[in-house]
Amino acid sequence: MRLQDWMILRLYIRQILLILFSILVQFMANNLVETGKANAMVAIIATGIAPMFYWASIGLMAWSVLWVFHSTWRLWKWEQGDSNEPCCHICGGLVDMKNGRYGLYYKCLACGKTSSL
């Protein structure tokens, strides 16, 4: 894989995982409702919890879609050379700010190198 492919993968992997998690939460809500149809005790709990799971799933999905838009905007600005964000000092790729043992630092999404602030 090229460095730019790694950068795109690292840029979107968290959003993809969040979308998969929201699908899992939706599946759990559906499973609760189906289980509630068979068992009266579970039905009482399911009627209270299932709507929360539905809304949590919708919220997670909405958050991940907004995050995808933000990441796409960052990538587009970087490709245009119009980004005001700091870039990697080695390859020029997009960086993410992280908090580590020695304080804040940038980690390149393309080559993975770090640099302190």
Q: 3-state secondary structure string, 76-95?
A: HHHHHCCCCCCECCCCCCEE
Q: Which of 90, 100, 104, 115 binds Zn ion (CB under 5 A)?
A: 90
Q: Does 88 bind Zn ion (CB under 5 A)?
A: yes
Minimum distance from CB of 107 to Zn ion (Å)? 9
| Cα distances (angstroms) measured from residue 22 to each of 29, 43, 62, 76 | 11, 22, 10, 26
Structure tokens at 58: 């919708």
Stretch that binds Zn ion, among 32-40, 42-50, 63-71, 91-99 (CB under 5 A): 91-99
Q: Which residues partner with 107 through β-bridges? A: 96, 114
Residue (8 or 108) nearer to Zn ion, CB:
108
Q: Does 108 bind Zn ion (CB under 5 A)?
A: yes
Contacts of 39 (CB under 8 A, 6+ apart): none
Q: Give the Cα-Cα-Cα angle 40, 44, 47 (nearest 5 degrees).
A: 120
- Binding residues for Zn ion, rule CB under 5 A, total 7
Length of the chain: 117
Map the footprint of Zn ion across residues 6-35, applying CB under 5 A.
none
Minimum distance from CB of 95 to Zn ion (Å)? 7
Q: Which of 29, 46, 53, 93 binds Zn ion (CB under 5 A)?
A: 93
Binding site for Zn ion (CB under 5 A): 88, 90-91, 93, 108, 110-111
